[in-house]
Amino acid sequence: MNSLKRITLALGALLVLGVPILAQAPPAAPGQTPAKGAGNGGGQGRRAGASTLPISVLNMMVTLKDEQKTKVTAIQDKLKTDVEAAAGDRMKIRELNTAANDDIKAVLTPEQQKLMAEKLPIVMLLNQSKAIRSGVLADVKLTSEQMDKIKTAAAATQEKMKAVAQADRRTKNPEILADFKTEVEGFLTAEQKETISKYHAPKAAPKKPTV
């Protein structure tokens, strides 16, 4: 087994179980499009994992059957309700999110679990670095060749982040993520970049009805 595969599988196993990556702003509601400028990790006791991703992204990663989509949506909806009821209790929210990740994993077949373990770390890093937010990832329609390049870049980025001393992570890791974002952008077509740009573009406020 080569080093890249070992890195990917190890990171995947951690993230499927909901192990946090770098702390970011509070995530979006489960299964919904994350707020622009927000991350999917760490905020308010939440942990990165399948429970925080839109169904469209999960389906892109493992090709869900309709029955699985229904079950996963129900798990994410329940998590959203339970998190709101937890009223900011970080420990409780962390437990809820871990349980939701486990419940989603149980819905998947062994083969889908393997695919999730391989792809989830990459999806989370794309979102965390702002290279491709999870809310627009499915619309970007990455090719298999692009995913292979991103996978290699993601593994190298994770290795760099792991090598940073704890005291330096707040300043060094954003620089590493920015480099990863630039590298990923180099893999994308003009059309894909435009799709991402439109996602990030500010939406016009709805017009107030005239009296």
Q: Would you say 188 and 153 are in contact if contact means Cβ atoms under 8 Å apart?
A: no
For 155-187, b/e burial (b = at least 16 CB within 10 A) is bbbbebbeeeeeeeeeeebeebbeebbebbeeb
Query: Residue 201: what pLDDT?
Result: 86
Q: Which of 98, 111, 114 is nearest to 46 (CA)?
A: 98
Q: Say which residues have a Cβ less than 8 Å from residue 59's Cβ, sequence separation at least 6.
A: 69, 138
Query: Residue 48: what pLDDT?
Result: 57
- In whole angstroms, what separates CA 187 from the centre of its chain? 19
Report the length, in residues, of the chain.
211
Query: Residue 207: what pLDDT?
Result: 67
| pLDDT tens for each residue of 98-116 | 999 999 999 999 999 999 9
Sorted by where each begins, the domain ranges of the chain are 3-199
Weakly modelled stretches of the chain, pLDDT under 70:
1-48, 204-211
Q: Residue written as tokens 């209790």? A: 89
145 burial via Cβ count (<10 Å: 0-12, 13-18, 19+): exposed
Strand ranges (DSSP E) for the chain? none
Question: What string of DSSP letters covers 49-105?
Answer: SGGGS-HHHHHHHH---HHHHHHHHHHHHHHHHHHHHHTT-HHHHHHHHHHHHHHHH
How wide is the angle at C-alpha 190 spanned by C-alphas 187 and 195, nearest 5°?
100
Query: Residue 141: what pLDDT?
Result: 95
Rounded Cα–Cα distance for residues 128 and 151 (Å): 15
Query: Residue 208: what pLDDT?
Result: 67
Residue 149 CB coordination number (10 Å): 16
| pLDDT tens for each residue of 113-129 | 999 999 999 999 999 99
In the chain, the amino acid numbered 12 is G
